[in-house]
Each structure stands twice: as C-alpha cells, then as structure tokens.
Amino acid sequence: MYQTFIEVAMVTFATYLLASPKNQMTPQVAFVSLTLFSQLRVPLFMISEMIGLTVQTMISNTRLKTFFVEEELDSEAVQRENSNAFFIIINFEKSIEVQTATFSWDSDRNIPATLRNIDLTINRGQLVAVVGKVGSGKSSLLSAILGEMEKRQGYVGIWGKCAYSSQQAWIQNMSLRKNILFEHEYDQLRYKQIIDACELTRDLEILPHGDYTEIGEKGINLSGGQKARVSLARALYQNSDIYFLDDPLSAVDAIVGEQIFKKAIGPEGILKDKTRILVTHSLNYLNECDLIVVINDGTITHTGKYQELIDDPNVADVFKTLQQSSEVEDDEDDEIPPEMDDENKDGEESDKSDVSAPGKINSRFVSRHSTVHSRGRKSRMTVDTEVSL
C-alpha cells in the first residue's frame, strides 16, 4: 500500500511538470500534494474493497433469489411415524416401504424422472446395501426416501427417526467434540464407543488438543478420511432408528473401512439393532448384509441376499463391472497424516498376511485390496449434513 502511494505521487508530479512549462515544483505544491495524497490513501483503498464486496453482494443476491423462488417440496410426500422407539418396535415391523414410486429432481414433468417404479420394503433392524454403477441413482434413492426429491407418483412410508451421513462430509467451524455431539447432551460412555467404532481414537491422540481441537471452516485442518469419519460419528451419536449411510467408507482405506464396518455398521457393530441403508461401491461387505438392492439407470433391477444374486448371471455381470470400475490405484492417500506413515506401512504389511479379515467375501469378482473411490454429486439439498427427522 505504501509503495502504491509513492508511485501515485511520482506519476502525479511528472504529469504536472510535463503538462505545461509554466508548472514548477515548489515546496508549497509538493507538500500540499503529499498531504492530500496521504489523506486520500485510506478512502481510495476502501473504494477498491467496496467494489469487490459489491460484486459479491450482487452474486449472493442472485443466488438467494433463485433459491427463494424455488417450489417447495411436498412435506406430505413421505408418510412419517416419529413416535418413540418402543411404540414403533411394538406396532411396526417395517422401517421403510416404497411402492411404485417415481421421483425427480425437477418438478417439470417433461423432464425424464431420475428414479422410476421403485418398489422396496425394508424391515426393522435390517442391513441393506445399495449397489450399482456410478451415476445409477444410489444417492438419489436415499434422498428420495428422505423426501428431498419431487415425488411424481407412488407411496413412501418411514417408521422411526432418521439419521443421514452424506457422501460429502459437512464439518462445522467448532471443536471436534461439538461437531460430533451436534447440540446433543454429552454421554461419555456412548461418546467413547462411537469414537472407537469410527476409528477416531488414534486421530484424537495426534490432534493438538484432542477432541477439543478447533476445526477450521469446512474441516480445513482435517484430511478427507478424518472428515468422513467425524461425519459418520455425528450420525451415529443421534441414536436414531434408521440410518442412511451414503458411501461413508469410500474416503478411508480398506483396513480402516473394514474396522468401521465391523464395529459400527455391520451385524456385530453398535448399530446392529438399527435399520441401516448403506450405499457402497465396495463388494467386500455384501455377504454381511441382510438385503442387497441393485440399481441401474434409476431403476431397481434386483433385490435379494448375496448368495442369491451371485448365482444370477445378469447380477454377476453387474458385480464384475462394478468391481473393475472401482479398482483405482491412488498414490496419494488422504486418509493417514504424514506422522502415521510408519504405522500405515506396518498395517499394509499385516494386511498382506493370510489371515482373513472380517467382512471378506470369497468371490471371483471381489478383491480385498481394491481401493474404492467415489465422485460427489450435486443435489438440491442446501445443507448436506446429518439430520434427525
């Protein structure tokens, strides 16, 4: 800023002297001009800042107008029963039921629907895996059941309180503990169980102030895997009846993913008595699921258990294609910080042993060492976070 002040003074004096032979640089002209430049320095700086802020305000105003004039979603599109858990267990066997439903992200019926003729029934306590190719509609299916999409026809019913873990982790600018509690009361025993289940114990030891460490805007000081696990821990802490898990294991490596599935999501995890809908690109966990939903091009093509589907040639081809597309090598692992490189190497060596890991499937299409990655998707949801309904 001071350099700019000097340059402005030099250019002004040069212009003054060259404009006319009669102009002379006297002390009176020089000192008065320098004083004037000094007084104008702050206002001129503020003008440049105001121009930038004005442009940002205009852009934000346009975005807000676009959002506010959007049509409201029908709050009655999904029939909900949010009574206490005991009442639901006694009176309802089902957790989710969808009958001949068609959904779209746009209310314009001239635009083809995203999901078509969806029929799905999920009983209480089941672990359901939703698999399919990239862009087939897996995340849209979860959003549709939650009521975030336009329902064109059909019936959707949910019995119980819901928690949602999004594919793209949403982290608030507050301490790690507050990010997990999400305004709920602190329960030390449950909190420690969830920290262990989400494999965050080692991360808390590395962070400078443990779970009191302040997390920057959008989780700037956390790796991608850490953000995904914090987001999953927040959903688990809600103690809901139904959990919608949109590929939470894609951001972590295979070893950590297996441990999270075993301790949190799987049949022996802390959610074993809850209804879980898990979207995944990995086939390693399908043998542990009660029901597998195969979705392709916005339509549910097959449902059943793993052994039933693997014997079907059509589904076997889908599994094979999915496995081949998900085997992507990534040289830069975001999951483990540099301080833990040695531990990571030890884990890789132990992973190459002959000991079978929990959730491993012996199939010609499945490789335990595959690295799974997923791409984010845009949606109309303004806040992509875990919610209790």
Q: Which residue has the higher pLDDT, 106 or 243?
A: 243
pLDDT at 84: 62
Question: To the nearest whole number, what is the mean pLDDT of the chain?
Answer: 78
What token pair was written down for 3? 């350099």
Express each pLDDT in 59-91 by its tens digit. 999 999 998 988 888 888 888 876 665 565 556
Is the confidence at residue 45, as pLDDT, over 50? Answer: yes
Pick from 85-89, 289-293, 334-338: least confident: 334-338
pLDDT at 337: 44
pTM here is 0.68
* Residue 56 φ then ψ, to 5°: -60, -40
pLDDT at 236: 93
State mean pLDDT over 227-248: 91
Q: Give the CA angle between residues 268, 189, 236 to the nearest 5°.
A: 55
pLDDT at 211: 87
Q: Which residue has the higher pLDDT, 256 or 354?
A: 256
pLDDT at 214: 87
pLDDT at 347: 43
What token pair was written down for 159? 């019995």
Express each pLDDT in 194-234 by its tens digit. 999 999 998 888 888 888 988 887 788 888 888 899 999 99
Contacts of 338 (CB under 8 A, 6+ apart): none
Strand partners, 97: 121, 157
pLDDT at 73: 80
Pick from 80-94, 167-181, 282-296, 329-343: least confident: 329-343
Q: Strands 94-104 and 115-123, how do they pair? A: antiparallel
Is the confidence at residue 379, as pLDDT, over 90? Answer: no
State mean pLDDT over 94-107: 90
Express each pLDDT in 109-126 by its tens digit. 888 899 999 999 999 999
pLDDT at 286: 86
State mean pLDDT over 298-315: 84
pLDDT at 43: 80
Q: Which fold has domain 127-151+158-351?
A: Rossmann fold (3.40.50)
Nearest to 277 by CA among 381, 126, 157, 133: 126
Secondary structure of the chain in HEC code, one letter for each residue = CHHHHHHHHHHHHHHHHHHCCCCCCCHHHHHHHHHHHHHHHHHHHHHHHHHHHHHHHHHHHHHHHHHHCCCCCCCCCCEEECCCHHHHHHHCCEEEEEEEEEEECCCCCCCCCCEEEEEEEEECCCEEEEECCCCCCHHHHHHHHCCCCEEEEEEEEEECCEEEECCCCCCCCCEHHHHHHCCCCCCHHHHHHHHHHCCCHHHHHHCCCHHHCECCHHHCCCCHHHHHHHHHHHHHHCCCCEEEEECCCCCCCHHHHHHHHHHHHCCCCCCCCCEEEEECCCCCCHHHCCEEEEEECCEEEEEECHHHHHCCHHHHHHHHHHHHHHCCCCCCCCCCCHHHHHHHHHHHHHHCCCCCCCCCCCCCCCCCCCCCCCCCCCCCCCCCCCCCC
218: left (phi over 0), alpha (psi -120 to 50) or beta: left
State mean pLDDT over 243-255: 88
State mean pLDDT over 263-269: 91
Is the confidence at residue 133, as pLDDT, over 60? Answer: yes
Is the confidence at residue 356, as pLDDT, over 70? Answer: no
pLDDT at 88: 59
Q: Which residue has the higher pLDDT, 260 or 38?
A: 260
Locate the domains of the chain by residue range. Answer: 2-68, 79-123, 127-151+158-351
Q: Which residue has the higher pLDDT, 152 or 362?
A: 152
How many CB atoms sit inside 10 A of residue 174's CB? Answer: 12
